Amino acid sequence: MFAPGAGRFLGPAASVAVVLLLVLAGGVLPGATLVVAGLFLVAAGLSAFFAIFFRDPERAAGPGIVSAADGRVRAVERSGDVWRISVFMNVSNVHVNRFPIDGRVESIETHGVGHRPAYRPDAAHNVQRSYRLVTSLGSVEVVQMTGILARRLVSFVAVGSVARKADRLGMIVLGSRVDVILPASRVVPVVRAGQSVRAGTSSIARELP
């Protein structure tokens, strides 16, 4: 299964690869076989890359509050009355982001400026999209953050959307980072920096009794 929008990237690359393969097989341009073969390998490589990048496997929701992104936990930080759990994605991760908890989308806001490397502390000022959710824990926020290469934020939901934990929320094209901001009075983190997590299945926090 592929994420929405995959066709605009995968379709053209695969089509070019098929055409070049037919040209090679038919011997239409015998004097340019090496050039055509090289172009075919490039087109086939791009097709494979896009197929991997836009993959969107089905996931069963994990226990507790789950990660919104595949990747590696960059930081677990408390700031005032909230916990911020930040996950850095690389190009090999699944890039579809998911709801960390059941909730209703109260607002979606895009703000920030610049495209600094997402692993740096000052990336907190990058162009980003914040989803504020109304949940059983109160207000929970999911933040998609751009990076030096990842500059396209995609939303699969709108204000007013109601979703279950692990439902698809959106994606970031070509990596970057996703933060989940949780009320510190209601939850405690269960992950640490450096830990690998999967969107929708890996627990990142549990509700306090």
Q: Would you name the residues annotated as active-site residues?
A: 176
Alpha helices in the chain (DSSP H): 7-26, 33-53
First to last CA, the chain: 38
CA distance 4 to 171: 9
Q: What does the DSSP 8-state code read for residue 2?
A: B
With CA atoms as reference, report the closest residue to 3 among 172, 188, 204, 178.
172
DSSP for residue 141: E
Instruction: Dig out the tokens for 84 from the structure.
Output: 């911020």
Alpha-carbon radius of gyration of the chain: 20
Chain-centroid distance of CA 61 in Å reads: 17
Query: What is the arrangement of strands in the sheet containing 168-173, beginning at the earlier edge strand?
Result: 96-98, 168-173, 152-155
Distance between CA atoms of residues 73 and 130, nearest Å: 19
Q: How many CA atoms lie within 13 A of 119 on its CB side?
A: 10
